[in-house]
């Protein structure tokens, strides 16, 4: 009965108001879907069994990379090309690059031009590798945190927006094998 009354009231509206009502309804539905998707991806989506999917894996420490190769961009490229032949041979693998919100969210920060440009390269390089290798069993992903505490920073404890390295690593593992680009720590998304 109430639904019939609502439909009757809608028919009485001028066509322009009716159009605006339906556009508003579509906007609310789109926003609701986006929120529900975010909730599922951030909290409910099951993690993949990384050991079963990729077998052995390694983490290349940013400090180790800095000592091995002086330029970050060149380092990411060299490591990717060093590990890809074995992954192609096994027909499986994952490359996870760590980008930064500085490359896309706040690219205009003063004195961050080189850092933001380097991280933008890492993001674009990762997305290109994703497209190139996704049909060959290799997942490539760029995770872009806003902030993560490290032993080198003055921030020693984690907070809601600044996770510890352990907290970030736990969150990051849950995203491997899904989207090619993500902010894996949910407050950053």
Which carries the bigger pLDDT value, residue 83 or residue 30? Answer: 30
pLDDT of 47 = 83
Q: Is 32 helix (H, G, I), strand (E, B) or coil?
A: helix
Domain enclosing residue 116, as ranges: 50-188
pLDDT of 145 = 80
Most confident of 25-29, 72-76, 100-104, 178-182: 25-29
Are both 9 and 28 inside the same structural domain?
yes
Edge-to-edge strand order for the sheet containing 181-182?
93-98, 138-143, 181-182
Span 32-49, pLDDT tens digits = 999 999 899 888 988 888
Residue 144 and residue 96: Cα distance in Å, rounded? 10
Look up the CATH number of the domain holding residue 167.
Answer: 3.40.50.720
For residue 11, the 8-state DSSP code is H
Mean pLDDT rounded to a whole number for the chain: 81
pTM to 2 decimals?
Answer: 0.73
pLDDT of 187 = 86
Are both 79 and 166 inside the same structural domain?
yes
Which pair of tokens denotes residue 107? 């690219």
Span 106-162, pLDDT tens digits = 656 677 777 788 888 889 999 999 999 999 999 999 998 876 554 444 445 667 888
pLDDT of 151 = 45
Are both 16 and 63 inside the same structural domain?
no
Are both 96 and 153 inside the same structural domain?
yes
| Residue from 112, 115, 121, 178 carrying the catalytic annotation | 115
Span 173-185, pLDDT tens digits = 889 989 899 888 8
Residue 124 and residue 122: Cα distance in Å, rounded? 6
With beta carbons less than 8 A apart as the criterion, state whether 95 and 127 touch. no
Provide the percentage of residues in the chain whose pLDDT is more than 70: 81
Domain count along the chain: 2
Are both 115 and 70 inside the same structural domain?
yes
pLDDT of 27 = 96
Task: Find the mean pLDDT for residues 97-101.
Answer: 84
Using alpha carbons, list the distances in angstroms from residue 112 to 84, 101, 108: 31, 12, 7
Are both 94 and 6 inside the same structural domain?
no
Judged against a pLDDT cut of 90, whether residue 89 lies above it is answered with yes
The answer to whether 112 is a known catalytic residue is no
pLDDT of 162 = 82
Q: Is 176 helix (H, G, I), strand (E, B) or coil?
A: coil
């Amino acid at each position: 009965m109430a639904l019939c009354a609502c439909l009757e009231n809608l028919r009485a509206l001028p066509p322009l108001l009716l159009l605006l009502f339906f556009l508003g309804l579509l906007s609310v539905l789109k926003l609701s879907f986006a929120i529900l998707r975010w909730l599922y991806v951030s909290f409910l989506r099951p993690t993949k069994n990384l050991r079963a999917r990729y077998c052995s894996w390694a983490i290349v420490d940013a400090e180790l990379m800095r000592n091995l190769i002086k330029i970050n961009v060149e380092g990411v490229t060299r490591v990717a090309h060093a590990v890809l032949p074995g992954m192609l041979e096994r027909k499986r693998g994952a490359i996870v690059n760590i980008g930064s919100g500085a490359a896309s969210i706040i690219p205009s920060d003063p004195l961050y031009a080189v850092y933001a440009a380097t991280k933008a390269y890492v993001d674009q390089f990762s997305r290109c590798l994703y497209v190139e290798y996704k049909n060959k069993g290799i997942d490539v992903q760029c995770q872009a945190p806003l902030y993560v505490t490290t032993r080198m920073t003055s921030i020693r404890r984690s907070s809601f927006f600044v996770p510890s390295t352990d907290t970030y690593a736990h969150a990051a593992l849950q995203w491997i094998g899904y989207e090619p680009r993500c902010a894996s720590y949910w407050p950053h998304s």
